[in-house]
């Protein structure tokens, strides 16, 4: 019995020693780990340390996909709205008419008018004089096919050439002038005859040539130089009216913008002065052109 008690006592003391040793080792491990965790800042921890965050630390913030997508969608929608405001339909200034500070369109309108009326004055000033010129006759519209409303200038269906005068004429004229109209196709003869007879201001009756079935001969009495000069003055007067009309439109635009508050009084006054200056310059050009053309026409009377 004494031996058993001694053996049991030895075993019990060994077990206690082992437990004490394990407890001491565990406490040492815990004491060594606590300072490392406490001294490590969240931004100093390794990438995988977030999973081992202790309960004493705050929870990690996770991004929510719904909010992220919604935020992007909101930005996109806002961008679309902003782009719609920044780019109105029709471009900037749509519906406001021409820029009042830019007078290029007015200058272009004056130039178009000059091109148109200068061509008419050139025809009146030509050597043939009056309305009977190769250009005027060649511009007569001809309808080759009665079933079709399409017309062609006479110059595209025949050649027009002067044949010379047939005698003297009074009133400063140079005598009647004969014109040859040589058709390219015999089928165009009758349409050309009809077109010349109906042409406004001509009142002519072309005759067939006995020598050439494709040729028509037209005798035109020359217009008196006084009548030609009068028509030249009428052309210049129409030119003046066109310039005044274009300038008036721009002046009315300036008044409207001033009434709306889009233009200050000083700006409106300066623009009005510029428009008037451009108009006056064109009027001087018309006056000079009229003088030159009328003098050239009247010189033919001598």
Query: Which of 185, 203, 222 is the C-terminal boundary of a domain?
Result: 222
| Any domain includes 117 | no
Q: How many residues are recorded in the chain?
A: 302
- 150: phi then psi, degrees, rounded to nearest 5: -70, 135
Same structural domain for residues 137 and 213? yes
Question: Which residues are paired to 164 by β-bridges?
Answer: 178
Mean confidence (pLDDT) of the chain: 75
Cβ–Cβ under 8 Å, residues 239 and 286: yes
Cα distances (angstroms) measured from residue 225 to each of 90, 117, 163: 54, 19, 21
Same structural domain for residues 288 and 235? yes
| Any domain includes 284 | yes
Q: CA–CA separation, 247 vs 282, rounded Å?
A: 11
Q: What is the mean pLDDT of residues 108-121?
A: 93
Residue 292: per-residue pLDDT: 95
pLDDT-based confidence at residue 21 (cuts at 50, 70, 90): low
Same structural domain for residues 144 and 163? yes
67 pLDDT exceeds 50? no
Same structural domain for residues 186 and 236? no
| Any domain includes 17 | no
- 190: phi then psi, degrees, rounded to nearest 5: -65, -45
pLDDT-based confidence at residue 62 (cuts at 50, 70, 90): low
User: What is the number of domains present in the chain?
Assistant: 2
190 pLDDT exceeds 90? yes
| Any domain includes 171 | yes
Residue 189: per-residue pLDDT: 92
Query: Which of 203, 222, 241 is the C-terminal boundary of a domain?
Result: 222
End-to-end alpha carbon distance in the chain? 175
pLDDT-based confidence at residue 171 (cuts at 50, 70, 90): very low
Boundaries of domain holding 167: 131-222
At 180 the three-state DSSP class reads strand
Q: What is the mean pLDDT of residues 256-269?
A: 90
Of residues 66 and 264, the one with the higher pLDDT is 264
Same structural domain for residues 198 and 232? no
Of residues 296 and 201, the one with the higher pLDDT is 296
pLDDT-based confidence at residue 86 (cuts at 50, 70, 90): very low
Residue 252: per-residue pLDDT: 92
| Any domain includes 70 | no
Residue 63: per-residue pLDDT: 53
Same structural domain for residues 217 and 135? yes
- Token representation of residue 224: 């008196």
- For tokens 């075993």, the residue is 11
Residue 172: per-residue pLDDT: 42
Query: Which of 192, 222, 252 is the C-terminal boundary of a domain?
Result: 222
Q: What is the CATH number of the domain that holds 206?
A: 3.30.1360.40
Same structural domain for residues 171 and 190? yes
List % helix, strand, coil for the chain (3-state, nearest 5): 60, 10, 30
**Which of 78-92, 191-205, 278-292 has the largest mean confidence?**
278-292
Q: What is the mean pLDDT of residues 292-298?
A: 92
| Any domain includes 81 | no
Q: What is the mean pLDDT of residues 267-277?
A: 93
Same structural domain for residues 202 and 230? no
Of residues 227 and 170, the one with the higher pLDDT is 227
User: In sequence order, what are the residues at sequence separation of 6 or more whose Cβ sits closer than 8 angstroms to the Cβ of residue 62?
Assistant: none
**Which of 59-63, 129-133, 143-147 has the largest mean confidence?**
143-147
| Any domain includes 14 | no
Query: For 217-226, how does the pLDDT look when each residue is reduced to its tens digit (9 = 90+)?
Result: 988 777 788 8
Closest Cα partner for 286 from 253, 239, 225?
239
Q: What is the mean pLDDT of residues 133-146?
A: 86
| Any domain includes 39 | no
């Amino acid at each position: 019995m004494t031996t058993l008690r001694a053996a049991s006592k030895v075993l019990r003391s060994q077990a206690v020693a082992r437990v004490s040793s394990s407890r001491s080792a565990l406490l040492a491990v815990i004491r060594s780990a606590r300072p490392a965790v406490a001294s490590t800042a969240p931004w100093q921890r390794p990438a995988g340390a977030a999973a081992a965050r202790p309960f004493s630390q705050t929870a990690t913030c996770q991004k929510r996909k719904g909010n992220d997508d919604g935020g992007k969608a909101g930005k996109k929608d806002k961008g679309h709205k902003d782009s719609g405001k920044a780019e109105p339909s029709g471009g900037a200034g749509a519906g406001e008419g021409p820029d009042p500070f830019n007078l290029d369109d007015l200058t272009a309108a004056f130039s178009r008018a000059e091109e148109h009326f200068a061509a008419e004055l050139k025809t009146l000033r030509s050597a043939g004089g009056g309305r009977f010129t190769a250009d005027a006759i060649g511009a007569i519209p001809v309808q080759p096919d009665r079933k079709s409303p399409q017309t062609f200038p006479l110059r595209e269906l025949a050649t027009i050439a002067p044949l010379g005068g047939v005698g003297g004429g009074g009133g400063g004229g140079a005598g009647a002038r004969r014109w040859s109209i040589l058709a390219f196709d015999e089928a165009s003869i009758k349409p050309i005859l009809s077109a010349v007879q109906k042409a406004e201001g001509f009142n002519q009756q072309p005759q067939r040539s006995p020598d050439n079935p494709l040729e028509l001969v037209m005798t035109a009495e020359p217009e008196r130089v006084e009548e030609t000069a009068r028509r030249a003055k009428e052309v210049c007067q129409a030119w003046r009216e066109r310039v005044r009309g274009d300038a008036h439109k721009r002046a009315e635009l300036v008044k409207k913008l001033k009434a709306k508050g889009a233009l200050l009084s000083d700006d409106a006054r300066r623009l009005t002065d510029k428009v008037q200056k451009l108009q006056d310059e064109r009027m001087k050009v018309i006056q000079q052109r009229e003088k030159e053309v009328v003098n050239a026409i009247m010189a033919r009377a001598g």
